Structure 1
């Protein structure tokens, strides 16, 4: 019994020391000075982007952060220019140049004309729910990520082959699509609440075509070999635990590499987990551990 008690205390002490070391490292990183910028990226289809990076000339490792979508063009016109600011700053304080692009057809890409509105091209349409094209919608945004990487590499702003891609919701789905292309510059991908076709008609846990979504996930998994971390939240009413577990099983069975984590309920709606500053202490240990294994 005494031996068991000593063993238990030893394990507890080791865990406590590990947590203290992690907390000290996090505090040190949080003291790093960063700067924020808004760029107009001169891509084949120009777009605005929020940047956060350490002070200095670089080059830096790159993080691209892909946002979600709205299928309503009026809603897209009100999309914020700065998305995931707190999460972006967390990465920037750890040495990354973070680019959070605003997709074409969103926010400032909307042009108001009297009596009608003309919006920039929107490439994330999935079509009708009866026959959704989840695959091409994801790949369209993935190809934008590749254009951003090429541009920043040509500008010598980033370290080649040291790119992390992070995505939320449809942005996470695009990140899964990107993994199927295995771009050599991308060493890891992290997704939060990834998927498409959630909350049809505004109803919770009502996916457009869940079986088709799982099939498309398996299709990406057949060629994907990029290490991935998938984070979902129990009270996500867009892509709940049952669906996200089916997606993960299909992806990994097909050959994809993805570590799956289901987080406890967060707030009233877990789908927007990464957008909250209060969520950073919850996901950052997982992300730190995952990225440490990719070095």
Structure 2
């Protein structure tokens, strides 16, 4: 039986008129990997100082400090779908990470679901798509949440891992220019923007603009990226995803590109399912082990 334990609020930290950033409720739970963890509701900074982003935080038992993993969710240009988005949770991925000693933060970015506010990641229409700008804004939102959690006593200040999905993954490619001491690895599941243009599978809005933007991201990249895509991804197919990864590498970025088996009817959403995490488990394990070894070498 799930047990509920409500404990005292931490000292409050406000952003302008924003709600408390660290109000939280703890739940006894267990993940798919059989490891117990704590699930907590948090508020973290957003680009709008009047709005604190809703987030879920998961962590193992004990006081830590734990390595931090931040999961950046997918997005959509559709206003109604964004407004109706449920709080992102990625339960199987979270269980996988917590079982390996990570505290995991899943923030819901500005303009989505319960967080609300203005959507600042807008890429524009096909003819004027600005994918580079939208990627930089997404990366900035991820950084705000990550930097806030790194100030907590139970989180290590170094060797964080950032995992991005779709538009969230696109933002993580921009974040590859961050301090390698602070972020030791980036794992991107089918990163990109503009997929399913006009809701049509295997159609991408302004693909050459997307390729040009990712090449620019590669020029500034300092953190290695593990790039994963399912065989049956109809948003960013393995063939086009490889072109994106090659452009990122051509700009100077380090990429380990992997195509994964088909999962479900649409591989783009594989990371949201237990079957998808299982299909990606070997690559996830390799990426986490590489990041752990890299972090151990740093002074």
Q: Normalising to structure 1: TM-score of the pair? A: 0.84
Report the count of equivalent residues.
Answer: 258
Q: Does 1:66 align with 2:72?
A: yes
Aligned with 1:204: secondary structure? Answer: coil
| Structure 1 counterpart of 2:38, from 27, 35, 39 | 35
Moved more, 161-170 or 260-269: 260-269
Mapped to 2, the partners of 1:128 and 1:41 lie a distance apart of 30
Mapped to 1, the partners of 2:45 and 2:132 lie a distance apart of 26
Change (3 A) 1:37 1:94: same
Aligned with 2:150: secondary structure? Answer: helix
Mapped to 2, the partners of 1:233 and 1:61 lie a distance apart of 27
Moved more, 201-210 or 143-152: 143-152
Q: Does 1:84 align with 2:90?
A: yes
CA contact (8 A) 1:182 1:224 kept: no
CA contact (8 A) 1:226 1:257 kept: yes
In the other structure, the counterpart of 2:206 is 209
| Structure 2 counterpart of 1:163, from 148, 160, 165 | 160
Mapped to 1, the partners of 2:208 and 2:108 lie a distance apart of 30
Aligned with 1:293: secondary structure? Answer: helix
Structure 1 stretches of 4+ moved >6 Å: none
1:286 Cα shift?
A: 1.1
Q: Does 1:101 align with 2:107?
A: yes
- What are structure 2's unaligned runs of at least 5 residues? 1-31, 294-299
Q: Normalising to structure 2: TM-score of the pair? A: 0.82
| Structure 2 counterpart of 1:236, from 224, 230, 233 | 233
| Structure 2 counterpart of 1:270, from 267, 271, 277 | 267
Decide which structure has greater helix share: 1
CA RMSD in angstroms, aligned pairs only: 1.5
| CA shift digits 1:9-65 (9 cap, x unpaired) | xxxxxxxxxxxxxxxxxxxx9343211111122454410101111012222100000
Which structure's CA Rg is the greater one? 1
